[in-house]
């Protein structure tokens, strides 16, 4: 009867289960083939084997523990009623269900509970790998003198064991106690006197209490070491109160737990069960009292004398934090500046803050027609360098590689000029450097990827998505400082077929793997692949061997994995065809090695006649002793691994660049085939490694306070630094680290440096800058350059204020903004030179209806001299650089610059007056609108229109 009534539902449920398990089976089998194809099979089976082995052991122990407790409970519940019954509660009937269970019922319950319990050990295989493969780091904590490896690996593993075991014991004793009380086998008289009638239940609880006291002992010992991560006190880590109050409390609690354990075990003979309960209550009382005392000591004893009490601990904290972030061995130098004139200037901008700058701008608006004094007037556009101020000492390699291209406007230019078809897309723009024929080039580059989601709706067929449009093609590459007269980038690589102006011999421009390749493709099919467009589309056949052959069994497996019938039934490909999946490079590397954290900005490299993706892999933890957390509680970060992905074949290599990093040392022991030998990497590709921005940003933020090594200075934050701000697209943003070509003084040639400047907190002058070297044997070296004490060096925001306050420059920007265009102020670049600091900011112009920004001007500031020019060379010439060192046709170009740039000045006073008149009319119209005076509003708007037309006329005549 039951079968006939529910037959259809049962059949559907069986089919659903079959499909579910079939898909899971298909995923496992295809994953095995995928890992084998990439030569990373051990990374598939070892984690699974370790996790399942541990889980099985934990499952068996948990099930046995629950089964034995259920058996003991049932045996006690069926004891003759007249011997033990005191009273029953309303829950007794539910407890009777347990007594009716047989061995099978107990086994099923044990299995279910244990299966749920082992979920608390998810991914514990990583802890096991790190513990087994760990070795001494050589760094010991300053309190307990224990190697940092204990805190990094052993302590987290032990905590992961202790917490679930303790939870299981506590939940069991609670459940058992409730059942005993509900059936009347226990009563509250136990606290007054012992009754033999309660013996079976008390004996059972005694077993459980013994286990709890044992685990609590370990828990309190671990808590003692966990004080290394205490947030209480002046600094993160163990402090005065933690060491002298909390640590003794944990020791007392551990001793008390041991004594309770001994007493509880003795109760099997002495029957003093109440004492065990008193011990348990005593542990709770000591824990609460210890917390109260610690809080009181911190508030009453430590806080009023915090620096005195916490001084030695601050010193420990500084030392360990520097080691955790790799800033303990920074090379510090003084950046000596010769003939520095800007340090002696006493202009209002030297110590101006943002509010003062806004007030200055308002004052300037009101002073129409009033000339500034000669000493305070900003350097006019195109005017010669002041006498007595040395010209910038800048060599050609630095000049040619000043980054005038901003990655955000450049990405828009690439998309407009180099995508050609809607299904191509430039996802991101990266920065790199190449040395070709002994010529150094800093470049911006972007991959032209295939995004099949951008195909027209009618072309979104399975054949097109999986067989035809399989790969991207080539790249766009531009020198950072060489632009066309129209302000557009020049190209080293461009177009389709690819044009290689550097003669790098790119033979494999195809990108089968990238940031936008999110779907599978099948290659070597009956349908030839689209290569790139032309007068006639060019087609291609894939020649790689990293795919998986599509014989019938794999057709079936991948059809189940992807839920895609096209794979199973299509006749467009054969058993010789190969499927490429997991093609998104971020997902690809995370699938191979999920225990590493990857930089979210992979960068493209041209090397060895093909394209590669390079990703930085990090190891992070929140378990480094005494170290200050940065983000998401992380207090330790390293970049010991570089990942290289072949954009054509999809092969992945993990290169270990730090041999002494503890996490990767343990991983290398567990997975000997994971890391490739760095010596096997070509010099051409290795030269493209760059210091990662994520790591540098973390180090730079930590260094804002942790450059101070004196505990007193650190406590008072007397020398705290800040990362400066800059203006970008009418917004004030925090400066991002940027790559620059610099001459650091000790090297014969300039080098590729990732840098960020610093200013004092709540001040805008620059005090130092941090650089990470990228080239050759110097890779990874951090250098902190401090400016000489007592000299004023302009900070980035002060330069932005100078630009905003310059009447000619700000008026020129305003005029462009009123002519149907949008001015984009690029990143402000701080370029340290041997005799001063050069500041460069490109200006881009973009029509409102266009996504095609053009660089129209270069703003340059040197030794108090602010200029705006068409090109960087012209700006440097205005600063006094020898024209023969610049890319100018002849020395007379300097005079031409002055003549051209001075033309607008013939009527600049008139434009000033008209601009002020337009502003006044706008304010009048706005006030009339607020008051609802529509007549006056209309008349004022008409008058404003006439003034704006006059401004437009004069601009057209003079610019």
Which tens digits make up the pLDDT trace of 344-376? Answer: 333 333 334 444 444 434 443 443 333 333 344
Average pLDDT over residues 419-446: 93
Judged by average pLDDT, the poorest of 347-351, 504-508, 825-829 is: 347-351
- Per the DSSP assignment, residues forming a β-bridge with 858 are 842, 869
CA distance linking residue 706 with residue 697, whole number of Å? 14
CA distance linking residue 513 with residue 652, whole number of Å? 11
Give the residue among 806, 791, 803, 808 at the shortest CA–CA distance from 828: 803
The predicted-structure confidence for 224-237, as pLDDT tens digits, reads as follows 999 999 999 899 99
The predicted-structure confidence for 707-763, as pLDDT tens digits, reads as follows 999 999 999 999 999 999 988 777 888 999 999 999 887 667 889 999 999 999 989
**β-pairing verdict for 430-436 and 475-479:** unpaired
CA distance linking residue 473 with residue 20, whole number of Å? 39
The predicted-structure confidence for 784-812, as pLDDT tens digits, reads as follows 999 988 788 999 999 999 988 888 888 88
Q: What percent of the chain has pLDDT over 70?
A: 84
Residue of higher predicted confidence among 925 and 517: 517
pLDDT for residue 644: 97
DSSP-derived secondary structure for 614-658: EEEEEEEES-STTPPP-STT--EEEEEEEEEEETTT--EEEEE--
Query: 378 pLDDT band (50/70/90 cuts)?
Result: very low
Question: What three-state secondary structure class fits 340?
Answer: coil
The predicted-structure confidence for 7-64, as pLDDT tens digits, reads as follows 676 777 777 777 778 888 999 999 999 999 999 999 999 999 999 999 999 999 999 9
Query: Is 76 a residue whose pLDDT tops 90?
Result: no
Query: Is 242 a residue whose pLDDT tops 70?
Result: yes
Decide: residue 218, CB within 10 A, 0-12 exposed, 13-18 middle, 19+ buried: middle
The predicted-structure confidence for 934-948, as pLDDT tens digits, reads as follows 677 777 777 877 777
Average pLDDT over residues 210-215: 94
CA distance linking residue 98 with residue 67, whole number of Å? 12
Query: 431 pLDDT band (50/70/90 cuts)?
Result: very high
Q: What is the pTM of this model?
A: 0.84
Give the residue among 281, 213, 220, 284 at the shortest CA–CA distance from 254: 220
The predicted-structure confidence for 636-695, as pLDDT tens digits, reads as follows 999 999 999 999 999 999 999 998 899 999 999 999 999 998 989 999 999 999 999 999
Which of the 8 DSSP states describes residue 376? T
Judged by average pLDDT, the poorest of 334-343, 399-408, 462-471, 526-535 is: 334-343
CA distance linking residue 599 with residue 601, whole number of Å? 5
Query: 902 pLDDT band (50/70/90 cuts)?
Result: very low
Give the up-direction half-sphere exposure of residue 83: CA atoms within 13 A in the CB hemisphere. 11
């Amino acid at each position: 009867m039951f079968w006939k009534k529910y037959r259809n539902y049962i059949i559907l449920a069986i089919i659903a289960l079959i499909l579910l398990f079939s898909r899971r089976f298909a995923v496992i089998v295809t994953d095995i083939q995928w890992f084998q194809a990439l030569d990373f099979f051990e990374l598939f089976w070892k984690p699974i084997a370790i996790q399942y082995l541990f889980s099985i052991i934990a499952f068996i122990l948990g099930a046995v523990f629950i089964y034995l407790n259920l058996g003991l409970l049932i045996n006690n519940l069926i004891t003759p009623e007249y011997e033990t019954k005191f009273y029953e509660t309303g829950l007794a009937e539910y407890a009777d269900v347990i007594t009716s269970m047989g061995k099978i019922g107990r086994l099923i319950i044990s299995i279910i509970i244990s299966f749920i319990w082992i979920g608390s050990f998810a991914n514990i295989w990583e802890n096991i790998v790190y513990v087994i493969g760990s070795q001494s780091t050589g760094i010991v904590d300053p309190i307990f003198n224990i190697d940092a490896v204990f805190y990094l690996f052993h302590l987290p593993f032990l905590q992961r064991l202790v917490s679930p075991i303790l939870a299981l014991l506590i939940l069991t004793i609670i459940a058992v106690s409730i059942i005993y009380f509900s059936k009347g086998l226990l009563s509250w008289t136990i606290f007054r006197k012992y009754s033999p009638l309660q013996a079976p239940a008390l004996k059972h609880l005694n077993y459980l209490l013994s286990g709890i006291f044992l685990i609590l002992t370990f828990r309190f010992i671990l808590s003692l070491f966990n004080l290394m991560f205490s947030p209480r006190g002046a600094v993160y880590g163990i402090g005065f109160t933690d060491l002298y109050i909390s640590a003794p409390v944990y020791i007392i609690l551990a001793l008390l737990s041991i004594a309770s354990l001994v007493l509880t075990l003795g109760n099997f003979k002495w029957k003093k069960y109440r004492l065990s309960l008193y011990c348990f209550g005593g542990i709770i009382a000591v824990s609460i009292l210890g917390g109260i005392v610690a809080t009181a000591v911190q508030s009453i004893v430590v806080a009023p004398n915090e620096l005195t009490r916490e001084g030695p601990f601050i010193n420990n904290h500084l030392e360990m934090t520097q080691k955790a972030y790799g800033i303990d061995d920074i090379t510090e130098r003084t950046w000596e500046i010769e003939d520095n004139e800007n340090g002696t200037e006493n202009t209002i901008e030297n110590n101006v803050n943002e509010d003062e700058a806004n007030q200055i701008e308002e004052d300037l608006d009101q002073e129409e027609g009033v000339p500034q004094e000669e000493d305070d007037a900003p350097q006019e556009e195109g005017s010669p360098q002041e006498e007595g101020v040395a010209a910038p000492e800048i060599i050609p390699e630095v000049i040619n590689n000043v980054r005038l291209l901003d990655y955000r406007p450049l990405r828009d230019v690439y998309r407009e000029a180099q995508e050609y078809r809607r299904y191509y897309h430039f996802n991101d723009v990266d920065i790199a450097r190449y040395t070709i024929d002994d010529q150094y080039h800093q470049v911006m580059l972007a991959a032209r990827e295939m995004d099949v989601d951008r195909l027209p709706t009618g072309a979104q067929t399975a054949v097109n998505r999986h067989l035809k449009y399989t790969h991207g093609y080539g790249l766009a590459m531009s020198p950072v400082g060489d632009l066309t007269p129209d302000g557009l980038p020049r190209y080293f690589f461009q177009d389709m077929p690819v044009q290689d102006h550097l003669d790098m011999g790119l033979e494999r421009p195809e990108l089968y793997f990238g940031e936008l390749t999110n779907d599978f493709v099948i290659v070597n099919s009956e349908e030839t692949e689209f290569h790139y467009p032309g007068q006639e589309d060019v087609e291609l056949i894939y020649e790689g061997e990293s795919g998986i052959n599509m014989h019938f069994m794999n057709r079936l497996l991948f059809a189940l994995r992807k839920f895609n019938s096209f794979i199973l039934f299509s006749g467009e490909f054969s058993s010789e065809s190969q499927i490429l999946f997991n093609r998104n490079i971020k997902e690809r590397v995370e699938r191979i090695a999920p225990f590493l954290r990857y930089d979210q900005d992979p960068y493209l490299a041209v090397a060895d006649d093909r394209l590669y993706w390079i990703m930085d892999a990090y190891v992070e933890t929140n378990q480094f002793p005494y170290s200050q957390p940065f983000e998401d509680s992380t207090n330790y970060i390293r970049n010991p691994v570089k990942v290289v992905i072949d954009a054509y074949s999809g092969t992945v290599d993990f290169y270990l660049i730090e041999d002494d990093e503890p996490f990767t040392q343990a991983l290398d022991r567990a997975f000997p085939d994971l890391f490739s030998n760095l010596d096997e990497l070509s010099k051409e590709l290795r030269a493209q490694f760059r210091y990662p921005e994520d790591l540098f940003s973390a180090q730079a933020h930590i260094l804002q306070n942790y450059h101070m090594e004196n505990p007193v200075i650190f406590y008072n934050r007397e020398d705290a630094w800040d990362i400066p701000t800059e203006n970008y697209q009418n917004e004030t943003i925090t400066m991002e680290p940027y790559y620059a070509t610099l001459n650091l003084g000790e090297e014969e040639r300039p080098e590729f440096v990732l840098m960020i400047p610093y200013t004092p907190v709540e001040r805008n002058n620059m005090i130092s800058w941090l650089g990470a070297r990228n080239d050759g044997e110097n890779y990874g070296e951090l250098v902190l350059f401090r400016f000489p004490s007592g000299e004023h060096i302009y900070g980035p925001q002060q330069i932005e204020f100078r630009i905003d306050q310059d009447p000619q420059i700000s008026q020129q920007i305003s005029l462009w903004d009123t002519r149907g265009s949008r001015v984009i102020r690029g990143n402000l670049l701080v370029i340290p030179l041997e005799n001063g600091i050069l500041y460069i900011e490109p200006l881009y112009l973009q029509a409102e209806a266009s996504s095609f920004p053009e660089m129209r001007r270069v703003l340059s500031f040197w030794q108090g001299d602010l200029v705006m020019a068409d090109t960087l060379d012209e700006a440097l010439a205005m600063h006094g650089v020898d024209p023969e060192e610049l890319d100018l046709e002849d020395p007379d170009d300097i005079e031409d610059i002055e003549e051209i740039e001075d033309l607008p000045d013939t009527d600049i006073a008139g434009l000033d007056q008209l601009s002020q008149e337009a502003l006044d009319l706008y304010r009048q119209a706005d006030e009339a609108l607020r008051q609802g005076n529509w007549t006056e509003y209309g008349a004022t708007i008409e008058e404003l229109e006439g003034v704006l037309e006059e401004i437009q006329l004069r601009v057209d005549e003079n610019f």
